[in-house]
Structure 1
Amino acid sequence: MDDFPMLILTGAALVLVAFYDFLRTTISLSGTGFLSRAVAEGLWRLGSKLTLGLEQMTGVSIRGLLGPVILLAVAGTWVLLHLCGYVLILRGGLSLVQTDTGEPATWVQTVAFAGSTLSTLGASTVQVTGGWWDILSMVAAMNGMILLTLAVSFLLNILQTTNSARTFASRFHAIKAREPDGDISSRLEGLGSDLTSVVVMLTASPLPRFFVPSDSTMDFPKTVVELCNLIETGTLATTSEIAAAIRLLGRHLGTSLDQNEVVAARMWAVRHTIPQTNRT
């Protein structure tokens, strides 16, 4: 019996932490929660090394899988923590009984009930014993509805940001290809507002940085590196809208070890670039 309050407290803590991280990542418009960031960065480091190794050994590229896998892992972490939290809370007392026999629900049945409630399906072979447990099931259902609704909107925003970033990179390389040896600064000025829009969307949700295209001309981090080169060599004026957008990126997405905003933007881009191998 002494373990029951601890189960409830642990479960409630898991739910609160997961829900905070979920809201911080999806609707705060100021980056990712600490759990989402840890999962995404860890998988990125592992996935980028695996990608390079596979390309060098076999020529098979999995670049296009990194973004979707990381996104699914982040979403899966939210769902798993919510599920574990509600299961622990429900196991903290006589919350569920089997519908046909009235016997206390097993662990498996508790997991099934929690999952069914979170998914808003409501189908289960057990039922709550009433009182506060009934209220808890209602809260879990509302929690699940919020998770599903905001997750879909969040996914659409990520895809939109990814497409906008790739469009900008493609337009930059098209201008560069038309004038390989000429002054492209005047032509690039027309892309200033597009770059600013992409950077603002990335500061709101940085997860699109993990979507790596197979075509390097659509690779936004690589484009950022080239823009940093143009700014540092004086080809692009530091007062230009492009330079302002690059400094904005470095200011919000760079790390505390970066020396200045342009350097910070370059380091951010390098951290999220997978070099092309000879076999790709």
Structure 2
Amino acid sequence: MTGFPWAAFAVNLAAAAGAAFAVMLTTFAVARVKGMHRLVDIAWGAAFTAVALTTCALSTGHGDDGRRILVTLATAVWGLRLSVHIARRGRGHGHGEDPRYERLLAKAPGSRDVYALRTVYLLQGGLVWLISLPVQLAQYVAVPLGASAVAGGLLWAVGFVFESVGDFQLDRFKAGPDHRGRVMDRGLWGWTRHPNYFGDFLVWWGLFLLACGTVQSAAVAVVSPLVMSYLLIYGSGKRLLENHLADRPGYAAYTARTSGFFPLPPRRRPDPEDPRP
């Protein structure tokens, strides 16, 4: 990237790592006192917000102001909504640990806290730094906003709405006293088994497009949505959640008629009296 402020960006990379790990280590200290490492889920969105704000401050005078402000706001709105949503949802779990972390920490060869620090907090801090590359890079790109930024903003907006509506619908469903133990298959959840993860997927491809001021910036930033897509579909997102829900009554039928990730019309329920296979 001709004219790209590499020296300033290198300083920013270090500062962004510091911001991400500061959020994670602070969360670890609080979680250790409370004995609940599920608090790290709240820190995920907050860490991205910290990186975006840090980069916005450090990139002053380097990148295009319109792009800087747009990327910072998009990341902060997404990150803070996610953190607030997870914090509110966590109130319903009382003071216990999340079963996912119970299973993970049961494998600890020594101190559970040290194991959690190494395999959860530091790992997530590193992922925040890596995945936030478009957020950091975009704020140092001096090219004014163009067609790719418009497309990225629209993609981000669709993803944000999809994720927010999906979370809202699931919360409303869980609040119903007659829905305990039942599978949520209404609204967006009738079109995809993971509307929240699909929304995340669109958000990060949108942020990637916002960083595409040049071909070179796109080539550097593309690692972020690729990593996030892998995590959502094959890593700690969809795969782990479906393994957890596999034994729930009605879940097998739900998976048979509902798309695994990308939204599609629900498949027709099989008719038991239909002789066709």
With normalisation by structure 2, the TM-score equals 0.34
Name which one, 1 or 2, has greater alpha-carbon Rg: 1
With normalisation by structure 1, the TM-score equals 0.34
